[in-house]
Homo-oligomer: A and B are copies of this chain.
Amino acid sequence: MGTKQQITERISGLLRESKLSVTETRTKILELFMKSNGALEHSDFEKLAGQSFDRVTVYRTLQTFLDKGIIHKIPTTDTSVRYALCKSECSEHHHHDHHIHFKCEECGNTICLDETDVPQIQLPKGYAAHNVEVVVSGVCKSCK
């Protein structure tokens, strides 16, 4: 993962590429994403290392990251919203989230399985598919 220094520089670069000011809140939130390899939800951000950020700021920051293609949402069956970092192929105008998500029933973590292909779905006649979301639930590697 690199040193703290390297990560901070990588984050600054990422923000500048997206034409966003490099601020403390944004840096901390991106750090958290990089540290955790799973998906995060809103509440994970408020109790952030040491200091606490305003709820409103967190909402706006996540929305900004979504708009710029830095993060993406993962579908859930409850009212929570989960976010994960996008891979480099994503950009503001072209989203490319073609990977599946795995939710562990034991630890509750949701992770992106980047190497697993999204299957081709044979839809009935008359339907046009633009995007396919797959969420598999079960037991993950670590909980087995």
Q: Encode A119-144 as 1/0 by CB contact (under 8 A) with B.
A: 11111111111111111111111001
- Find chain B residues with CB under 8 A from A134 CB: 121, 132-134
With a CB–CB cut-off of 8 A, which chain B residues contact A78?
Answer: 73, 81
A105, CB-defined interface residue at 8 Å: yes
Name A residues whose Cβ lies closer than 8 Å to a Cβ of B: 73-81, 100, 102, 105, 113, 115-117, 119-141, 144
Q: How far, in whole Å, are A133 and B137 apart by their CA atoms in the complex?
A: 8
Minimum CB distance partner of A76 in chain B: B75
| B-side contacts of A117, CB under 8 Å | 122
Contact of A132 among B80, B115, B136, B140 (CB under 8 A): B136
CB–CB A116/B124 < 8 A: yes
- Give 19 CB contacts A-B under 8 Å: A102-B123, A102-B127, A105-B130, A119-B119, A119-B120, A119-B121, A126-B140, A126-B144, A127-B136, A127-B138, A127-B141, A128-B138, A128-B139, A130-B137, A130-B138, A131-B136, A132-B136, A133-B135, A133-B136
